[in-house]
Amino acid sequence: MKKDRRKKQWQDLTKDEKRVLKLLEGKTTSEDEIKAVIKALQEKSPPSQHFYDHTSDMSKDKAILRLWHPGGGTAYAISYHPQKWAESLSGGEKPHICGIGHYHKAEQLFYRNIHIFQTGTFEEQTPFMRRKKLAAMLGGWILWINDEEPIGLLGDTHIGSKYFRGDLLEQYYQKAVFEGVKKFYHTGDMVAGENMFRGQVYELSAHGFKAQAQSVIDYYPQWSGVTTYYILGNHDLSFWRTAGADISNLIDAQREDLVCLGHEEADIQVASTDVKHIKSLLVPFY
């Protein structure tokens, strides 16, 4: 019975699948056969690219982007937390698009009719992250919604950290502005904050509330006609938790192009109609 089942399973395989199975079991030793298997796999694999193009039908009148900076630790699967978040929403609560910070990951998925983007980071892998075996995916997004003016979507710059990559952040802004972006949306953790974990003090280049705010004022990219809207993440709010100090007050007072939208979450209209078509480009540095 077991033998008959295996025979049927073998018969159900395609020609290419049989060749791959033979290769994995060591039954294929011919160099020509191995090359043929590799060629077949390459032809079946999608091309490597960072563009994403999707058409959807949403019921809301205007495209809403939700900026969200959740808490908690990372998961084994990159998409786990975004998927569980989407599952927690009822129909009337769902935005068209969601930019998610905090996890230092860059990915896109379309789930429950929501275009979800994890917005990456501009902080290299730190000693703390290395000890925790966490990757830092450096980069940011450019989104074209319904062929209207593109927007930028990024997060977790962690200015004030020794591992902040201001050079890459400037390159990202340069690329996005060249593509026509005038509005950027930042998903939180503009600064590194303080007392977030044991030993963080040794990973900081700017110490204290005023020093980190001044670092943003001095080093955050500034382009004529360009505005960056941001929310405060858990690192930004470290000063709020310990002293009731809102770092956005200092930043926004001296940088008119930087506008805080609130703590940890904000909804913004980013297109004049609902999302019919969206194209995205990841600008990666990892």
Domain identity same for 98 and 31? no
Check: CB of residue 275 under 8 Å from CB of residue 145: yes
Residues 207 and 109 in one domain: yes
Same domain, 267 and 236: yes
Residue 174: half-sphere exposure toward Cβ, Cα within 13 Å: 6
Let me know whether 107 and 35 are in one domain: no
Smallest CA-to-CA distance from 116 within 85, 140, 91, 71 is with 85
Q: Are residues 72 and 38 in the same domain?
A: no
Residues 18 and 87 grouped into a single domain: no
Q: Are residues 65 and 6 in the same domain?
A: no
**Per residue in 215-262, pLDDT tens?**
999 999 999 999 999 999 999 999 999 999 999 999 999 999 999 999
Residues of the chain with pLDDT > 70, as a percent, come to 79
| Same domain for 56 and 34 | no
Q: Tell me: do 57 and 185 sit in the same domain.
A: yes
Q: Is 157 exposed, middle or buried (0-12, 13-18, 19+ CB in 10 A)?
A: buried
Query: In this predicted structure, which of 52-66, 67-81, 149-163 has the lowest mean pLDDT?
Result: 52-66
What are 110's two structure tokens?
Answer: 């379309």
**Domain assignment of residue 144, given as a range:** 51-284
**Confidence check: pLDDT of 17 > 70:** no
Question: Amino acid letter at 79?
Answer: S
Residues 35 and 55 in one domain: no
Closest by CA to 217, choosing from 253, 192, 266, 174, is: 253
Residues 8 and 130 in one domain: no
Q: How many domains does the chain have?
A: 2
Do 25 and 138 fall into the same domain? Answer: no
Res. 276 pLDDT band, cuts 50 70 90: confident
H or E segment to which residue 99 belongs? strand 97-100
Digit-coded pLDDT (tens) for 169-182: 999 999 999 999 99
